[in-house]
């Protein structure tokens, strides 16, 4: 199990999709496929985050489950393995986290995927990460507490640290109505190293979400907000929180007791660099 020093915080990297869109100039792309098609581009993005000062790089595998990759015409196993290899090749002193997102389809009784199917989909992804030697699993952007529970049951079969993160609106609930308290009650049934929130909200609203988490659980807390709220400007998504303000909010959350921080949609290496610089001054 990863150990968190009382006076140190882990800094993750920022968004992958934002960077892929920046370099490719298109928005309708599944970044995971570039692990096979354009590995050097993914390595370049990981390198930029590493040079910005992150402690861990997150693999480009958010949507690399069997169903999504089949629809894209790719072998999910190859996509995951290549994603891990690319991340590991960046720098030996960095931790590597395997990124796992939602399946992308509702699970019974809400949708067509059975609980057994969902369990196997998560288990086979985590098994690859375990075999390839990732340092921890990041299960993130979850919105259905039942799906999170299934993913964590799959992870329980492996001796590997797991970070679990859900996506909440500014009121502190998912679009399906699950709350921070529902998440904590669920993750505490499993072997989870870190619990947190990512995506959906900017850093302003994330402060209130992590306060609820810190007041509800003794598990170390993660915060990965978006760079604010996006708006479309001539076909490009522009986020409304700049690097300096973003880093200040992150420092506020660190001072509250958050142990793992990073960036979600809209964040870039410059956001992570600001966090590193401000945090090092604080420390």
Sequence-ordered list of residues with C-beta below 8 angstroms from that of 198, at least 6 positions apart, any chain = 140, 141, 165, 166, 167, 222, 223, 224, 225, 262, 264
Dihedral sign from CA coordinates of 171, 177, 146, 200? negative
Count of CB atoms situated within 10 Å of the CB of 242: 13
How much is the pLDDT for 217? 97
How much is the pLDDT for 283? 64
How much is the pLDDT for 114? 97
Query: Distance (Å, rounded) from C-alpha 69 to C-alpha 237?
Result: 25
How much is the pLDDT for 232? 79
Of 82, 192, 176, nearest in space to 140 by CA: 192
Is 72 assigned a ligand-binding role in the annotation?
Answer: no
Instruction: Please tell me the pTM assigned to this model.
Output: 0.95
Of 259, 257, 261, 283, nearest in space to 272 by CA: 261
Sequence-ordered list of residues with C-beta below 8 angstroms from that of 243, at least 6 positions apart, any chain = 270, 271, 273, 274
Residue 105: both structure tokens together: 């389809």
How much is the pLDDT for 197? 98
How much is the pLDDT for 3? 59
How much is the pLDDT for 138? 98
**Hey, where are the domains in the chain?**
10-282
One digit per residue, the tens of pLDDT, for the chain of length 283 reads 565 555 789 999 999 998 999 899 887 899 999 999 999 999 999 999 999 999 999 999 999 999 999 999 999 999 999 999 999 999 999 999 999 999 999 999 999 999 999 999 999 999 999 999 999 999 999 999 999 999 999 999 999 999 999 999 998 999 999 999 999 999 999 999 999 999 989 999 999 999 999 999 999 999 999 999 888 787 777 899 999 999 999 999 999 999 999 999 999 999 999 999 999 987 6
Is 264 assigned a ligand-binding role in the annotation?
Answer: yes
The CATH number that domain 10-282 falls under is: 3.20.20.330
Is 265 assigned a ligand-binding role in the annotation?
Answer: yes
Residue 109: both structure tokens together: 């009784």
């Amino acid at each position: 199990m990863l150990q968190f020093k009382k006076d140190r915080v882990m800094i993750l990297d920022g968004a992958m999709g934002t960077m892929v869109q920046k370099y490719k100039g298109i928005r309708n792309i599944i970044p995971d496929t570039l692990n096979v098609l354009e590995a050097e581009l993914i390595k370049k993005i990981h390198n930029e985050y590493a040079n910005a000062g992150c402690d861990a790089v997150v693999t480009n595998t958010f949507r690399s489950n069997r169903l999504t990759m089949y629809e894209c015409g790719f072998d999910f196993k190859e996509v995951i393995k290549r994603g891990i290899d690319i991340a590991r090749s960046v720098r030996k002193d960095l931790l590597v986290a395997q990124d796992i997102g939602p399946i992308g389809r509702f699970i019974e009784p809400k949708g067509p995927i059975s609980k057994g199917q969902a369990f196997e989909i998560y288990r086979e992804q985590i098994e690859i990460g375990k075999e390839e030697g990732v340092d921890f699993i990041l299960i993130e952007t979850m919105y259905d507490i039942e799906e999170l529970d299934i993913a964590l049951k799959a992870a329980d079969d492996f001796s590997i640290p797991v970070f679990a993160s859900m996506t909440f609106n500014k009121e502190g609930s998912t679009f399906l109505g699950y709350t921070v308290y529902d998440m904590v009650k669920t993750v505490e049934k499993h072997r989870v190293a870190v619990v947190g929130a990512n995506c959906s909200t900017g850093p302003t609203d994330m402060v209130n979400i992590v306060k609820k988490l810190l007041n509800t659980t003794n598990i170390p807390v993660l915060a990965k907000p978006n760079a604010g709220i996006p708006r479309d400007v001539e076909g490009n998504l522009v986020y409304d929180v700049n690097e300096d303000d973003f880093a200040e909010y992150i420092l506020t959350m660190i001072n509250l007791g958050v142990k793992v921080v990073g960036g979600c949609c809209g964040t870039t290496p410059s956001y992570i660099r600001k966090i590193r610089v401000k945090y090092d001054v604080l420390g």
